[in-house]
Chain A
């Protein structure tokens, strides 16, 4: 279910520390950014010059006609055209360069976040929901991109425009300019007031929209229950109420906006009227050229725009700060499992595994394993049995160092696994998990994962060896059959066989396996058992076992209960003992034997 409730940590609208860090990402791109600013400057000059050109044309050649008029108008038209073309081209280049720069920065930032998360230990993933982590990589960075492209650089455009027009007006006629500038504070006040209202209205709209979405998704999922309890009308009423609230928030926003824009136009008209009145008087008295008045009409039209734009950017800035804070908090988290500074190299492994007084807890002192010790000779097969929560799966996790233990030692060929690089360690251990995770792609890519040096022949060979070839060959596209939606179309047994093939393709010296508990039809079950037997041949194998035949073939059985090893031995030895294993056997496996 998507996360409709946004989790904003930041309460501070602006944090200079975060801003500094964000600006740091721009540093490598200072050259294109300077280019953009320079282009923006030139474009602004172009925008300011064109009304002046009109003034020249009107004053010198149109309002006051002379012999020069025709040539003069032609000349000014050509200059006007040249400026227009140049501005348009600069505009395009600026947009492109700016967007490209923003995309580059975000590209790098995404890579940094992704690889940071990718290298975090499993414990990190237990604590952070996947959806939230994905948001960091994708949506939060998008928000920041908007800040880079439309806030930081475009701020220059607004300032250039505001200052440029003010200067142009002052230069043309300072008295008239002062009349126009006198209205600026009204515009600023109006805009600030509007922003406050608009931000509040917008926040309300968002909160209420989130509520609608949350309600909808929850009630679509719980529709069955609503119908069973005959609550359709009641829920309809509830929905209409929150929909009404959302409507009200929207109306409020519409009202705020419907007042502001027309009000801005009134201020513009007021300024225009004042300029016309004062300036028109000047023209009447002959102290002001008509073209100046004309240019002012044009300038005023553009004068107030930057203020409005700048206010708009404030919201983007705020959203970006919140997103950046979330990202930086994540990036500042260090991985709790580090590779040793001076690792022992591990080329070949015999496959001797030893747990020495291992204590382990996922959280604090909530011990999942208590003083666990056992020893596996190279090539042996060990079955772990016991109730759910006995700690069997934890043993498998710890051997690959997905988590670090609190006390004791785990040794492979007599080497403490904490002295080995994680990648080296895991390369020697093949893992088959209970829930076989399949990736989007095809059958082949799910066996070889990303290892291009595992050839198609090798894939067919391992698939054949673990009995997966029969069902693969029956698929329409065989080894190229696409795997959709995490392999939902494949049965649990087929997925298990694929996982075997995957493990074998990497040819590890040690195999750890969490047997599937799901219902598997007898035919596939036989294939799995056969494959498992072949897989474990000559390979150290540790299995969390749920099936009797698996257990019976094991060299050693370890019975776990509540985090401790309670019994250890072969099937016959343990049965003779008449202890927990015996009871478990009676309870869980006896019927299977009868069935088989």
Chain B
């Protein structure tokens, strides 16, 4: 239960809610206990002939009045306690997401989206169940059992009580024990089911191989086996789960039979009166539920604890990158410098960047070329502070990058990533992603520079077109241009194009680059590209190979010396020729 210490904020915030809720719950219990007593009184009244029409009517009114009060109180406690658990769920999930936004790319490389999703739904649900239903049931059961026991032992007859209650501990124990076995078998069922799902998923994904090697029949056999296993596991659970209901019915009926026989004898022997007999039956009926739910509460608590533990692990994960000791900087100019940077993603892995040094002045353009895996994107990752670098290697405006507030740094950089990730919202919203507020003019202007405007206007919904599954699926080139517009609409001090022109043709590329040059002259730009046309006008070009800078200079300088850049240049010229011949 120590796991729940992390929820202290919640309970101190909503203390009153829970106290009032539990008070209402207890009031309901007390009123419920009055009912059998009333039935006993009526019985005795009828039996002894002391009852009149008038008093009968009075009893009827009391019964209805109690029911109405119970209804109101129940409504209140459900709203307070069950509603409270929903409140917990919401606030816990908010905190969970807030925490996720602080975790670094490194964390996301190591944790699958599906797992994090499972924590956000299943685990938070299990905690919510325990904090809501669990607490209510535990309180209710505890109080009802104690109170009923006191009443039957004190007010009616303890011999009868002792005998009649024999089945109850068995009930609680079997609910607890069988419940646990059922859970185990249920987990087997889930495993079998996910095994079946995986098998089917794999089969459909590999259908090409299966058909090519004529394995359909054999795969059907394999499927039949998984299918059968799933069925067997289900039946194995049913065997146990099917016992629960009849067993509980039997045990509670057994209790009634004991009262019927033993209590009946006592009435005959004049040890108790008929009213007590009737009331006793009423109390027994009232005890059944609390006793069974006692077993459930224990199981629910265990699940809640396990889930809370898993959530705590994530919540205790320290964000790798945050502002430590930031300088009071509100704006950056865009002078970038790397000084002898050697960088590896994990301490025990070989370095991805080796002794990288370069300088880009404000307003200049730097181009980086190199093969896949040569370290180009890593240079950018470091500049964006997605990974931690040691102090004194990367500087902006002569300030160590680690001391620039993250907010200032990232808001000053316009970044166009390789993967063109867009959110499933409108094109306008996607372009305005980095802005707090925007006007349509801004959006349109950015779209024009990114050579996206005409494409967007050809969609029926124009800038309100939804991107992705639920809307228009954009081509790779269109996505890239949305991503470009998204970066330039911020009017950033530093613009980074990370291989972001690969899916647009050379003509469009040229217009985009020209547009970019025109808008702002003092913007620092970094372009990573495979095509010479995209990089040839840069003030400085560096060629990377295996994490090292192997060449640097301008287009004119590099094209005249043997090396990576020249190879690239010649290849491209050939390609253009080929394009023309066809």
Residues of A within 8 A of B (CB): 1-2, 5, 50, 54, 57-58, 61-63, 65, 69-70, 73-74, 76-77, 80-81, 84-85, 87-89, 91-92, 95-96, 99-100, 103-104, 106-107, 110-111, 114-115, 117-119, 122, 125, 130-131, 133-134, 137-138, 212-214, 216-232, 234-236, 239-240, 243-244, 246-247, 250-251, 254-255, 257-259, 261-263, 265-266, 268-270, 272-274, 276-277, 280-281, 283-284, 290, 293-294, 297, 400, 402, 422-423, 426-427, 429-431, 433, 437, 439-440, 449-451, 486, 502, 506, 519, 561-562, 580, 583-584, 586-587, 591
Flag whether B332 is at the interface (Cβ < 8 A). Answer: no
Q: Are B242 and A99 neighbours in the complex by a CB distance under 8 Å?
A: yes
Q: Mark B245-271, 1 if CB is under 8 A from A, else 0.
A: 111011001101100110011011000
Q: Are B250 and A85 neighbours in the complex by a CB distance under 8 Å?
A: yes
- A270–B57 Cα distance when bound, in Å, is 12
Most buried by B among A106, A231, A255: A231
Q: Are B264 and A57 neighbours in the complex by a CB distance under 8 Å?
A: yes
Shortest C-beta distance, A363 to chain B (Å), equals 15
Closest to B277 in A: A62
Shortest C-beta distance, B527 to chain A (Å), equals 17
Q: Which 5 pairs between the two chains have the least Cβ-Cβ distance?
A: A450-B218, A269-B67, A262-B71, A273-B60, A258-B78
Binds A, one of B346-354, B446-454, B532-540, B572-580: B572-580
Shortest C-beta distance, B498 to chain A (Å), equals 11
Q: Are A426 and B254 neighbours in the complex by a CB distance under 8 Å?
A: no
- A437–B218 Cα distance when bound, in Å, is 17
- A429–B386 Cα distance when bound, in Å, is 49
Closest to A436 in B: B209
Flag whether B139 is at the interface (Cβ < 8 A). Answer: no
- A422–B104 Cα distance when bound, in Å, is 51
Flag whether B46 is at the interface (Cβ < 8 A). Answer: yes
- A73 CB contact (under 8 Å) in B56, B94, B264: B264
Given contacts A96-B242, A402-B211, 16 further A-B contacts (CB under 8 A): A62-B264, A73-B261, A84-B257, A89-B246, A100-B235, A107-B231, A122-B208, A122-B211, A218-B424, A228-B410, A236-B98, A247-B89, A269-B67, A270-B67, A273-B63, A423-B214
Flag whether B135 is at the interface (Cβ < 8 A). Answer: no
- A493–B474 Cα distance when bound, in Å, is 34
- A223–B200 Cα distance when bound, in Å, is 31
- A107–B223 Cα distance when bound, in Å, is 11
Closest to B82 in A: A254
**A283: B residues at CB distance < 8 A:** 46
Closest to B51 in A: A284
**B384: A residues at CB distance < 8 A:** 228
Within 8 A of A (CB), among B452-474: 469-470
Shortest C-beta distance, A153 to chain B (Å), equals 14
**Assuming the A-B contacts A73-B261, A216-B97, are A130 and B268 also in contact, with contact meaning beta carbons closer than 8 angstroms in the complex?**
no
**Assuming the A-B contacts A70-B268, A254-B78, A440-B198, are A228 and B231 also in contact, with contact meaning beta carbons closer than 8 angstroms in the complex?**
no
Flag whether B203 is at the interface (Cβ < 8 A). Answer: yes
Q: Are A276 and B63 neighbours in the complex by a CB distance under 8 Å?
A: yes
Within 8 A of A (CB), among B189-216: 193, 196-198, 200-216
**B209: A residues at CB distance < 8 A:** 431, 433, 437, 439, 449
Shortest C-beta distance, A412 to chain B (Å), equals 15
**Assuming the A-B contacts A230-B411, A273-B60, are A103 and B93 also in contact, with contact meaning beta carbons closer than 8 angstroms in the complex?**
no
**Assuming the A-B contacts A73-B261, A258-B75, are A290 and B268 also in contact, with contact meaning beta carbons closer than 8 angstroms in the complex?**
no
Q: Contact residue range for chain B? A: 35 or more
**B52: A residues at CB distance < 8 A:** 284
Shortest C-beta distance, B111 to chain A (Å), equals 9
Closest to B108 in A: A223
Shortest C-beta distance, A49 to chain B (Å), equals 12
Most buried by A among B39, B53, B79, B97: B97
Flag whether B74 is at the interface (Cβ < 8 A). Answer: yes
Flag whether B421 is at the interface (Cβ < 8 A). Answer: yes
Shortest C-beta distance, B238 to chain A (Å), equals 4
23 contacts between A and B (CB under 8 A): A77-B261, A84-B257, A88-B247, A95-B245, A96-B238, A107-B228, A125-B204, A134-B197, A219-B423, A220-B100, A221-B421, A227-B105, A234-B436, A254-B83, A258-B78, A266-B64, A272-B63, A273-B64, A284-B46, A297-B39, A439-B206, A449-B213, A591-B571
Q: Are B260 and A54 neighbours in the complex by a CB distance under 8 Å?
A: yes
Q: Are B260 and A281 neighbours in the complex by a CB distance under 8 Å?
A: no
**B60: A residues at CB distance < 8 A:** 273-274, 276-277
**A111: B residues at CB distance < 8 A:** 220, 223-224, 227
Shortest C-beta distance, B95 to chain A (Å), equals 10
